[in-house]
Structure 1
Amino acid sequence: MIEIERKFLVTSEAFKKEAFTQNRIKQGYLSSVPQRTVRVRTKGDRAFMTVKGVSNSSGMSRFEWEKEISIDEATKLLELCEKGIIDKTRFEVKVDNHTFEIDEFHGENEGLIMAEIELTSENENFEKPYWLGQEVTNDKRYYNSYLSANPYKTWG
């Protein structure tokens, strides 16, 4: 139940031609404190509740628990969430033996495109596609919980 992932900014929309799936995601936070974020998410016709713990010092690893819930439950829970619902389209792109999840944000976070890759260890090597930009793994501003309260459009 430990998630190991790295995050990067995306420098080009070329990844869209390589995507094998794309889904609209809406998510909100019942709790956005770093010690335990509790997220509700709809993704296409499915919904999930996720609990995440605090990240380790590298920002790459943290506890994650996820449970599928009904769309009806998620819709009701989203009404209880903290201010700042995240709206984004997620594209999945296979690169070598890994899948990158690329999020193109909408609404108050319009203009931000970010890629994540899940790994089996913090030292795992992976191929970096040409559209992958600066790594922001340990920059808390790029956590979705931060973006929900401090939208990208408001950054100086």
Structure 2
Amino acid sequence: MTEIECKFLIKNTAFLKGKTGIRITQGYLSTDKERTVRARIKGEKGFITIKGKSNDSGLSRYEWEKEIDLQEAQELLKLCLPGVIDKTRYEIIIENHIWEIDIFHGENNGLLLAEIELQSETEQFSKPEWLDKEVTGDVRYYNSYISENPFCSW
């Protein structure tokens, strides 16, 4: 149940032309520094997720996620803290990895992030040319942070 991922800014979205993404709405029931609890609607599915505090490198943290009924997720979103996140996610396969590309909307419009999940902190992977600066471990790019501090206010 450990999530290991690297996060990057994206230079541009031209590589997404012709691809279909899925809309994600998510809110936070808790944004405590030791743990976050979020409710998410991804397409027509609901989820609840608990994430622990990141390690010193920012690469790894505990993650528990469970699919829940869509109506339950909708009800939980009503209880969330202000700052519900709205984004479109694209999944791009490069070699044996899936890159998750998030294009944010609303108050976070203009924020473009790419994440790759790894099997270990030392796993090697190819970096596509559309990647920009690595922001792994930079809390400003955690969804829980931007839910409270929207990108438009930076």
Range into which the TM-score falls when normalised by the shorter chain: over 0.9
1:31 aligns with 2:30: yes
Amino acid at match of 2:6: R
2 CA distance for matches of 1:17 and 1:106? 18
Q: Is the 8 A contact 1:18 1:93 kept in 2?
A: no
Q: Is the 8 A contact 1:15 1:93 kept in 2?
A: no
In the TM superposition, residue 18 of structure 1 has moved relative to its aligned partner by: 7.4
RMSD, aligned α-carbons: 1.0
Amino acid at match of 1:8: F
Change in 2 beyond 3 A, CA 1:101/1:18? farther
1 CA distance for matches of 2:118 and 2:126? 12
1:101 matched residue in structure 2: 100
1:124 matched residue in structure 2: 123
In the TM superposition, residue 138 of structure 1 has moved relative to its aligned partner by: 1.3
1:92 matched residue in structure 2: 91
2:15 matched residue in structure 1: 15
Q: For residues 51-79 of structure 1, what are the alpha-carbon distances to aligned partners after superposition, in whole Å with 9 as ceiling and x for unaligned?
A: 00000000000000000001100000000
Aligned residues: 154
2 CA distance for matches of 1:28 and 1:15? 28
In the TM superposition, residue 12 of structure 1 has moved relative to its aligned partner by: 1.1
Runs of 4 or more above 2 Å deviation: none
Q: For residues 15-71 of structure 1, what are the alpha-carbon distances to aligned partners after superposition, in whole Å with 9 as ceiling and x for unaligned?
A: 31374x510000000001121100100000111000000000000000000000011
TM-score (norm 2): 0.97
TM-score (norm 1): 0.96
2 CA distance for matches of 1:107 and 1:144? 14
Amino acid at match of 1:16: L
1:140 matched residue in structure 2: 139
In the TM superposition, residue 92 of structure 1 has moved relative to its aligned partner by: 0.4
In the TM superposition, residue 87 of structure 1 has moved relative to its aligned partner by: 0.2
1:75 matched residue in structure 2: 74
2 CA distance for matches of 1:17 and 1:129? 16
2 CA distance for matches of 1:90 and 1:81? 21
Q: Name structure 2 gaps, 5 residues minimum.
A: none
| 3-state SS in 1 of match to 2:79 | coil
1:64 matched residue in structure 2: 63
2 CA distance for matches of 1:143 and 1:34? 11
1:54 aligns with 2:53: yes
Amino acid at match of 1:78: L
Seq. identity, %: 60
In the TM superposition, residue 14 of structure 1 has moved relative to its aligned partner by: 2.1
